[in-house]
Amino acid sequence: MEALKGKKTYFTAGAAGLTALGAYISGEVDLTVTIQAVFAALMCIFLRQGVTSEAKKAVEAPKEG
């Protein structure tokens, strides 16, 4: 599992995007639903990056007081 550390979110978001595209190609969903699913996957990636960077800043910040 150490090799996947920090990459699981990206794999999951990629799988969600591929699933959305597959559903669109097969005709199960329309373009609107596909776009919404892809944007939701992208939001997960950016949210994870934001939380990681802010947590790193909080840990590295000098203590006040």
Nearest-angstrom CA–CA distance, 49 and 37: 19
| Cβ–Cβ < 8 Å for 12, 43 | no
pLDDT tens-digit readout, 25-43: 999 999 999 999 999 999 9
pLDDT tens-digit readout, 6-26: 788 889 999 999 999 999 999
pLDDT tens-digit readout, 39-56: 999 998 898 888 888 888
More confident residue, 40 or 65: 40
| Cβ–Cβ < 8 Å for 30, 20 | no
pLDDT of residue 7: 84
Global pTM value: 0.73
| Tokens, residue 4 | 């996947």
Q: What is the band of 65 on the pLDDT scale with cuts at 50, 70, 90?
A: low
| Cβ–Cβ < 8 Å for 41, 16 | yes
